[in-house]
A and B are shown apart, each in its own frame.
Chain A
Amino acid sequence: MNSADLQLNLHPVLPELLMVAATAAVMILDMFNRKGRTPTKAALPWVALVGVLVTAAASIWLIGQPVSSFQGMAINDTRAQALNLVVLAGAALTILLSIRYIPNVNRQTGEYYALILLVSAGMMAMGSATDLMALFLALETFSLGLYILAGLNRTDLRSNEAAMKYFLLGAFASAFFVYGAAYIYGATGSTRFDLIANALFDGKADPSLLAIGVTLLIAGFGFKVSLVPFHMWTPDVYQGSPTPVTAFMSVGTKAAAFAAFYRLFAFALPSEQATWGPVLGALAILTMTLGNLAALRQSSLKRLLAYSSIAHAGYILVGLATATSAGIDGALFYLISYAFMNMGAFAVIILLERQGEMDALGNRLNGLAQRHPQVAMLMSIFMFSLAGVPPFAGFFGKFFVFAAAVSGGYSWLAAVAMLNSAIGAYYYLRIVVNMYFAEPTEETRIEPQQASIPLAFALGISAVFTVALGVLPSLWTNLVQSGALNLVAMR
């Protein structure tokens, strides 16, 4: 340990600290709401939103100041800040979607916004953790919050069921994760990623203990990102949870767990890349294929997006499997574009939901273009982007990731991924075709009580960024790569 280790540099955790402060502010403000008097209730989401925006500003300010702190437990580099921005974009849009929605689901809105902020802090900590302990704590911070959020609607059996399934399987997966972490510690004698990497380079690690540990860790992570053998919970939890929570889950958990995947494999296990690269590639193929095939036959829109989110996890994993700088940056671009297009699609689903239910069937989109041409147009943008049609953001996400796979020697992976995009295009474009060419039924209508100005705002922001990142991908790549030049290769 040298003297630099002992300096307390708060930069790596500054965004997380700001989010926790915002959480505290929301909770304190919520205390003044008791006994029917609700003077501050309407202000809660806006306080939360300001917290998110301040944190985003801090994240952008921190770009280009790479530093490691807390004895190597946390790092602030460009990729950590890029991940923070993905999570914060998801959180901000979720708050906008929730303003009208959540009071109908659960009257404790203060706790809801506090949990959204706290969960975001946990997700952001995943991206800056460079130690197994910090990683485990971050993972549990956001998982425990999400279990509660999934069951937010306590009077709805489906929401309860979602929380129950998510909790039981999540706790089970966490046990595997931490057992894997214990074995990696046993193999190398450290929980810090850089010391683990050193032990591996020096050949001091026990290979069989390490293999057990990494296998268990992949199983634990695989659950969080819903990779295919571990994906069973995803459609049920996504369908049962309140829709803004589902939207947040699909964007945030994916970003956080992929950041942690990247940290672990690139920082702690770079010497074993020949082994884990093909394993991740195989998982990516399974995940994309099963996700897309299952999405083909879904009638519920939330379930369809759940399976499609499994497929997207597969595409992002392609970028990680290549283990090149281009692959990681491609995956990050994919995550930010996925955040906007997916949030937008969920906002449209909210518009189609009836009072007292938390789901919408796909046939409600039939002929939507005749009744609500603006909404149909926005939904088409999101669907084209999810399908990967140029000039939208989703196209460049796929392009960067697949190009990195080809140049990284994973042409077979890129080929399977492209075939899968074609399958995916079928069910996304079917929605667009139904909106424009099917006859409207009495089911085709937008619920006025769901439509609100914040929701329209969220739809607009999502659409603008989906188009802007597609037309000008350099908006994002310049921002998150400006500070990366001094970091060699993957690190």
Chain B
Amino acid sequence: MVPINYYLILSAIIFTIGAVGVLSRRNALIIIMCVEMMLNSVNLTLIAFAGQWNNLAGQIFVFMVMAVAAAEVAVGLAILIAHFHLSKSTNIDDVNLMKW
């Protein structure tokens, strides 16, 4: 059996890639995809822990995360489209009307 640390390190790497992507990318669509990647790395963590503890709570939690991620994308894309209608841009550097 693969030791749990391998799963944890892999998911931490994926989570970090996602987080760095959110902070460095300027296209809102890519940012949403990076958030999805972070959530999926969380799912991997949960599954690994569920295997380690040998109970189902972690696996059920994964379903919750997946459902929420789907809802989040639906809302996020709708907001993105509404914004694109007005500003004709998906670049978040253009989202700068309000500061300080």
Contacts and interface: CB of A to CB of B under 8 A. Distances in A.
Interface of A: 132-133, 136-137, 140, 144, 147-148, 151, 154-155, 157-158, 160-165, 167-168, 171-172, 174-175, 178-179, 181-183, 185-186, 189-191, 235-236, 239-240
A190 B61 CA distance: 11
Contact of B18 (A160, A167, A175, A239): A175
Contact of B39 (A167, A175, A235): A175
B98 A235 contact: yes
Contact of A137 (B19, B68, B83): B68
By DSSP majority rule, is chain A's interface helix, strand, loop, or mixed? Answer: helix
A179 B48 CA distance: 13
A354 B9 CA distance: 55
Interface in B54-94: 55, 57-58, 60-61, 64-65, 68, 71-72, 75-76, 78-80, 82-83, 85-87, 92
Contacts of B31: 168
Contact of B82 (A154, A175, A236): A154
A164 B28 contact: yes
A178 B97 contact: no
A239 B82 CA distance: 18
Given A136-B65, A160-B79, 7 more contacts: A132-B61, A158-B97, A163-B79, A167-B76, A168-B32, A191-B61, A236-B98
A182 B28 contact: no
B85 to A, nearest CB: 8
Interface in B37-64: 38-39, 41-42, 45-46, 48-49, 52-53, 55, 57-58, 60-61, 64
A157 B45 contact: no
A136 B45 CA distance: 16
B1 interface: no
20 contacts: A132-B61, A140-B72, A147-B75, A148-B79, A154-B86, A163-B79, A164-B92, A168-B28, A168-B32, A168-B92, A171-B32, A178-B39, A181-B61, A182-B58, A185-B49, A185-B53, A186-B48, A190-B55, A236-B98, A240-B98
A235 B82 CA distance: 21
B79 to A, nearest CB: 5
A458 to B, nearest CB: 26
Q: How large is the interface on B (under 10, 10 to 19, 20 to 34, 35 or more residues)?
A: 35 or more
Given A144-B71, A185-B58, A172 B87 contact: no
B42 A178 contact: yes
Given A133-B64, A163-B82, A164-B80, A144 B45 contact: no
A301 to B, nearest CB: 14
B83 A160 contact: yes
Contacts of B86: 154-155, 157, 160
Contacts of B68: 136-137, 140, 174
A179 B35 contact: no
Contacts of B53: 185-186, 189
B52 to A, nearest CB: 7
A144 B38 CA distance: 18
A163 B83 contact: yes
A162 B95 CA distance: 9
Contacts of A181: 61
Contacts of B28: 164, 168
Contacts of B32: 168, 171
Contact of A164 (B38, B61, B83): B83
Given A154-B82, A167-B75, A185 B39 contact: no
A158 B98 contact: yes
Contacts of A151: 79, 82-83
Contacts of A240: 97-98
A153 to B, nearest CB: 10
Nearest to A145: B75
